[in-house]
Amino acid sequence: MTDGLEAIDLQILQLLSLRFASSSADAEKHGTGVGVGDEDHRAATLSRIRRKAFELGIPVSLVTDFWDRMLDAEQARLEQVLRRREG
């Protein structure tokens, strides 16, 4: 793998870390995760992401699968944060 690709991979991981940290911080601050368990919010998010992936020429099915799994992981993580807060 070239150094350029490794740098991009690292940036992707750093952005994912920031995204999870931000959603956890929001849950801590507001006592709930925005959109957690809200299927309408999830569908709107996936629709927006699919459109953007298409515009960018990224395989839409790959991005949709990734985002769907990420939202599942985010929901589980936020539920864990909220349980800790209650306990």
From CA 28, how far away is CA 33, in angstroms rounded? 8
Residues listed for the chain: 87
Q: Residue 25's pLDDT is what?
A: 74
Q: Residue 30's pLDDT is what?
A: 63
Q: Residue 34's pLDDT is what?
A: 55
From CA 48, how far away is CA 10, in angstroms rounded? 24
Q: Residue 82's pLDDT is what?
A: 74
Question: pTM for the whole thing?
Answer: 0.76
pLDDT below 70 — which residues of the chain?
A: 1, 27-37, 87
The CATH class that applies to domain 3-86 reads: mainly alpha
